[in-house]
């Protein structure tokens, strides 16, 4: 098992990519704090893990990643429950967008920057401090997007936040290497989660056609890559972007 003995926090762990990653990490032997703004769904994920025969391997915590004190508290919670922290997957996010000139900054800019950008910064900061304190090193994986590397329709704010995630990852790898900390960003393409499933069948099929296998990516396929990146087998992958977009970026 790739993650035997590791302790991880997965933000946005109650749904979609985060949920699939909780399941994968548990199968790979990790202990996981399922951290989400939706505590009820996070608790359901933990109950599912327990029903699968892994009682004691997962715990739920409520966190709004856009509030630093809450992110710090969730890092402390992982340490209190499981004794230490080895991995943080900064994955919680919100999507959506309008044409730029129709923006109300208070609605269409600030909230998304707070969750998708500040939330990742806070996760890097709080986990980085914990890793330094432990003296054990650690791994920081953060979810960007294909939109973090390109201009995209109706995604002015989202793209900016996701580009920041890539920049944070490079700088974190550079600055934190002396503490044995690694940082990697992933850029999913079109993944079949509630963010995408809210759209019409027609739009979902257009999204699928933008990827080389002509299908939406399964959340579990992203989770497989994240588990590898979190493991010691990926020790040479640092400060970079791993494209998990089924070839979207070749177009
Ligand atoms: P999802 O909606 O299924 O999951 C997102 C989770 O984040 C939810 O459980 C939600 O409750 C949680 N969350 C939202 N705001 C939060 C906050 N302030 N604090 C804590 N938790 C919060 O979506 P998903 O598709 O699994 O998205 C996961 C990540 O992947 C996001 O960062 C998203 O931008 C990114 N992404 C998704 C796709 C895709 O096609 N689905 C593509 C590229 C990037």
The answer to the question of residue 250 being in a domain is no
The 10s digit of each residue's pLDDT in 159-191 is: 999 999 999 999 999 999 999 999 999 999 999
The answer to the question of residue 31 being in a domain is yes
The answer to the question of residue 2 being in a domain is no
φ/ψ of 144, rounded to 5, equals -95, -140
Give the residue ranges of DSSP H helices in the chain: 16-27, 39-51, 68-82, 105-108, 110-112, 119-134, 156-176, 194-197, 201-209, 219-230
Contact residues of ligand 1, CB 6 A cut-off? 11-12, 14-18, 36-38, 63-66, 91-95, 115, 143, 145, 188, 190-191, 193-196
The answer to the question of residue 248 being in a domain is no
Q: What is the CATH number of the domain that holds 211?
A: 3.40.50.720
The answer to the question of residue 1 being in a domain is no
Global model pTM greater than 0.90: yes
The 10s digit of each residue's pLDDT in 31-55 is: 999 999 999 999 999 999 999 999 9
The number of the ligand 1 atom at minimal distance from the alpha carbon of 191 is 40
What string of DSSP letters covers 169-200? HHHHHHHHGGGTEEEEEEEE-SB-SHHHHTS-
The answer to the question of residue 203 being in a domain is yes
pLDDT band at 231 (very low <50, low <70, confident <90, very high): very high
Mutate to test the pocket of ligand 1, among 114, 163, 193 (most ligand atoms within 8 A of CB): 193
Whether the Cβ atoms of residue 194 and residue 16 lie closer than 8 Å to each other: yes
Coil, helix or strand at residue 12: coil
Q: How far apart are CA 76 and CA 88, in angstroms?
A: 12
| Burial class, 7, CB count within 10 angstroms (exposed 0-12 / middle 13-18 / buried 19+) | buried
Give the residue whose CA is nearest to atom 12 of ligand 1: 12
Q: What is the mean pLDDT of residues 56-85?
A: 98
The answer to the question of residue 120 being in a domain is yes
> Cα dihedral angle (225, 192, 78, 144), rounded to 10 degrees?
70
ipTM comes to 0.99
The number of the ligand 1 atom at minimal distance from the alpha carbon of 115 is 18
Give the residue whose CA is nearest to atom 26 of ligand 1: 16
Mean pLDDT score across all residues of the chain: 97
Q: How far apart are CA 27 and CA 51, in angstroms?
A: 13
The answer to the question of residue 148 being in a domain is yes
Structural domains in the chain (count) = 1
> Cα dihedral angle (152, 251, 245, 62), rounded to 10 degrees?
0
- Residue 158 among the catalytic residues: yes
Q: Which domain holds residue 146?
A: 7-241
Mutate to test the pocket of ligand 1, among 21, 38, 92 (most ligand atoms within 8 A of CB): 92
Coil, helix or strand at residue 136: coil
Centroid of ligand 1 to alpha carbon of 145 (angstroms): 11
């Amino acid at each position: 098992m790739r993650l035997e003995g590791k302790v991880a926090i997965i933000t946005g762990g109650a749904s979609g990519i985060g949920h699939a990653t909780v399941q994968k990490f548990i199968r790979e032997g990790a202990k996981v704090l399922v951290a989400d703004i939706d505590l009820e769904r996070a608790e359901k994920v933990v109950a599912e893990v327990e029903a699968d025969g892994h009682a004691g391997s997962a715990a739920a915590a409520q966190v709004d990643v856009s509030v630093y004190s809450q992110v710090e508290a969730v890092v402390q919670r992982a340490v209190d429950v499981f004794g230490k922290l080895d991995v943080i997957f900064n994955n919680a996010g919100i999507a959506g967008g309008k044409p730029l000139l129709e923006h109300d900054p208070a609605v269409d800019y600030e909230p998304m920057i707070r969750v998708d950008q500040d939330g990742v910064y806070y996760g890097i900061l709080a986990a980085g401090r914990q890793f330094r304190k432990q003296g054990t090193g650690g791994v920081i994986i953060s979810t960007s997007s294909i939109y973090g590397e390109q201009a995209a329709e109706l995604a002015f704010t989202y793209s900016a936040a996701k580009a920041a995630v890539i920049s944070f990852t490079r700088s974190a790898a550079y600055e934190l290497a002396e503490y044995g900390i690694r940082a990697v960003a992933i850029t999913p393409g079109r993944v079949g989660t509630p963010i995408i499933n809210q759209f019409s069948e027609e739009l979902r099929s257009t999204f699928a056609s933008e990827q080389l296998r002509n299908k939406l990516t399964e959340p579990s396929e992203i989770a497989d890559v994240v588990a590898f990146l979190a493991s010691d087998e990926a020790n040479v992958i640092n400060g970079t972007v791993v494209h998990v977009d089924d070839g979207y970026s070749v177009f």
